[in-house]
Amino acid sequence: MADLVPLPSSVLRKRCDPACFSFETTESLADHAGDLGQERAVEAIRFGLAMGHSGYHVFVLGDAGSGKHATTFRLLRERAAGEPVPPDLCYLHNFDEPLKPRLLTLPAGRGGALRTRMQTFIRDLGPALGAALDSDAHVERVEALQSALKAREEAALRELGQACGAEGISLLQTPEGFVFAPTREGEAMSPESFEALPEDERKAIEARIGEWSDRLEDLLNDFPGWRKSVRESIDRAEREVLGPALAHLLREVREAHEDLPEVLAFLDAVERDVLDSAVRGTMLDEEDEEAPEPEENTRYHRYQVKLLVDHAASQGAPVVFENNPGYGNLIGRIEHIVQQGNQVSHFNLIRAGALHRANGGYLVLDAERLLSQPFAWEGLKRCLRAGEIRIEPPAEAQGWSGALTLEPEAVPSALKVVLIGDRDVYYLLMEHDPEFADLFKVAADFNDDIPRTPENECEYARLMALLARGAKLLPVHRSGVARLVEQASRLAEDSGRLSLNTRALSDLMREADFHARRKGLAATGRAEVEDALAARERRCNRYPTRVRESILEGTTLISTDGERAGQINGLVVVELAGELFGHPVRITATVRMGEGDVVDIERETELGGAIHSKGVLILSAFLAARYARHQPLSLSASLVFEQSYAPVEGDSASLAELCALLSALTQIPIQQRFAITGSVNQFGEVQVIGGVNEKIEGFFDLCSARGLDGSHGVVIPAASARHLMLREDVVQAAADGRFHIHAVKTVDEAMTVLTGVEAGEPDAKGVIPKGTLNHKVATVLAEMTAARHAYSDAEGSAGARQHRRRHGV
């Protein structure tokens, strides 16, 4: 039967002795790598990074604050430092298809050099073209060609005029064009003189004029051909004069990139386009535009080099973290500008995404942020599946805008993606996205805690040294290290383990550092850590203080003395803004004759969660299995959390509910000086629960406010004893005998502690000793069963008499 002796104070808190550390402060310790207790996760990350096959991208999962980001980035930078720098990525104007810019990859650093040289070429191009075309030799050559054409045309017309003049016909030039007129004695005839001529002579003259008109028409039809020939000659002259100028401008660029055939091909295309544009006159027409445009829209923008990704300053492979992984920031985007009311774009408006910057290296993304962005997750998967980065609107958004856009050549992707997120996100993706398992085949699961061994405590001290130096904090004295180790066990909710939540540890170290600096100390000790914890508790104690005040004022009914059947003090824990608070709650039970139903009022009012309802069903099954194996369970019971107006979840109150139910059934009172927590299974065994420290401390604070008299205590599962890391004042009260903590393994032991009545175990014949709790339960249930049978028999007899009277029997 239960040992009523409470737990000794030595097991209520596992202390860390500062003497176990060989150092005085963490200043003398070497930094830890930062991956304490994460050997499995580190091995998984290294495997995923080294695996060259497709689909072996990495998902790093674990609780927030477990050091996932720091460890992942450290491993990535270590590996990336020894890998080659990826090439620069550039886009060039496609002279054949302007809407499909061409991709150019160059060795790291040479993209910027090419861009600079092309900018110099563009700056010098206009003046060089103007100087070449305005040179005296070229101008004289063009003028000579034009003068020769003019002289040829005039000579042909003069020769024609002389020939027709010999036949008495004059060639005249008027504003409307050339006309023929008859002459007499060298003078053109007036219309009246011509009409006065005999008809035959007039007809002859008209016939000759017609012949000469045909010859004039033939001559004028030759003029366009002559002019075309001269235009071609002028074009050749312009090409001949511009060719050397262009060759001079591009010579330096060609020499600097003579080992890159793609660059030389681009320069050839630039040279051809410049000559064609200059000869057509469009180059000079654009040059004469009065209103200057932005750089991206200048007349020479097509000769620029769009440097998409520049690795000139990079060392090793890139490690990129995209904090805002929207679709555009991830895949890249094409911007537009407005010209004359229309949205237009060109290759200089292409913007790189995180995938481009990380290509050839590693891209780190926060999984939850990625999934919250429209189209971003699908865009990333599309890129990883296709093995290329294609900048385009998401397929779901194509067609939303009528703006003309570009189709840049896709960039072959060669990168490793590392997603960092919570376990829930990982398992949701694994279950609901069939493509996820094919793309992210490596899971690096970070541990939440490690065993608390002397070796690990020393390693933990090195981790504190790393955190202190990283945050530029004062060194931590070994007494402060010991206190932080104890707090790490408290965070782990296990005296035998140490929490790996480095975020919470770092925050506490910063707050303790604040108090140490305010005192003018050279190192942070135990007292400063205690000050930081106390200050944090004061900042966050509004809710527990109001709950305790409500109980002390009598608004919330909680008894800490006396005894009452069917009433018990349960314990609940509440989490607000990351802080846990425990406080007692009254649980009551009522019993009456019935058909074996246990009514959970919380569930009936939809305030009870699924796990809480499960706990009630389990205790109902325990009652039926233990006390009604050979007879019907002839009771109906009701359970309720009194003055509870919020949802109730969890099964940690099922032991309290069962004890209240047994007390109500037997009318054996429960001593109200106790509070109890624990879950129970169908065999009446008490199971471990969470938040045991906060629950005990919540009841202790209430009893302290009312005055500890040495009788108060808490009943917890025996399996939760190893989780105890109670406050020093609670431990001291237990050591002084003013507060007690009992650990029980079964509901029988719990009832013995709560009521002072032995539970009673059946002997070899199955007989339970009289005067025990279980004998009382069996007796009451037998009486209820007999009463129920008697009621049923009486009701059946009355029904039979009514039947006989109705039928006259």
- Listing DSSP states for 57-82 in one string gives -EEEE--TTSSHHHHHHHHHHHHHHT
Alpha carbon distances (Å) from 137 to 63, 133, 649: 80, 9, 97
Task: Provide the 3-class DSSP secondary structure of residue 364.
Answer: strand
Q: Which is catalytic among the residues 413, 695, 720, 776?
A: 695
Sequence-distant (6+) residues with CB within 8 A of 188 are 170, 172, 181, 182
CA neighbor of 294 nearest in space, from 338, 328, 352: 338
Q: Are 741 and 696 in contact (CB under 8 A)?
A: yes
Residues 313, 316, 317: CA angle, nearest 5 degrees:
105
Alpha carbon distances (Å) from 104 to 89, 99, 352, 410, 694: 6, 16, 14, 11, 63
The Cα–Cα gap between 420 and 134 comes to: 65
- Listing DSSP states for 777-794 in one string gives HHHHHHHHHHHHHHHHHH
Task: Count Cβ atoms within 10 A of the Cβ of residue 766 and give its class: 0-12 exposed, 13-18 middle, 19 or more buried.
Answer: exposed
The Cα–Cα gap between 416 and 399 comes to: 32
State the DSSP H helix or E strand holding residue 605, giving kind and residue range, or none if neither: none
- Listing DSSP states for 495-527 in one string gives TTEEE--HHHHHHHHHHHHHHHHHTT-SSB-HH
**Token representation of residue 336:** 């537009």
**Token representation of residue 559:** 């008894």
Residue type, 436: F
The Cα–Cα gap between 144 and 480 comes to: 98
Q: Which is catalytic among the residues 314, 620, 652, 720?
A: 652
Task: Count Cβ atoms within 10 A of the Cβ of residue 536 and give its class: 0-12 exposed, 13-18 middle, 19 or more buried.
Answer: middle
Sequence-distant (6+) residues with CB within 8 A of 90 are 103, 104, 105, 106, 111, 114, 115, 305, 306, 307, 308
Look up 228 and say whether it is catalytic. Answer: no
Q: Are 242 and 275 in contact (CB under 8 A)?
A: yes
State the DSSP H helix or E strand holding residue 574, giving kind and residue range, or none if neither: strand 567-576
**Token representation of residue 503:** 């975020």
Q: Are 759 and 749 in contact (CB under 8 A)?
A: yes
β partners of residue 635: 593
CA neighbor of 407 nearest in space, from 297, 310, 332: 332
Q: Are 627 and 777 in contact (CB under 8 A)?
A: yes
The Cα–Cα gap between 783 and 790 comes to: 10
Look up 100 and say whether it is catalytic. Answer: no
- Listing DSSP states for 92-131 in one string gives E--SS-TTSPEEEEESTTHHHHHHHHHHHHHHHHHHHHHH
C-beta atoms surrounding 291 within 10 Å: 4
Per the listing, tokens 């509070």 go with 675
- Strand-pair category, 58-61 with 442-445: parallel
C-beta atoms surrounding 786 within 10 Å: 12
If you ran DSSP here, which 8-state letter would residue 349 be given? G
State the DSSP H helix or E strand holding residue 747, giving kind and residue range, or none if neither: helix 747-755
Residue 35 CA, chain-centre distance (Å), reads 23
Catalytic residues: 652, 695
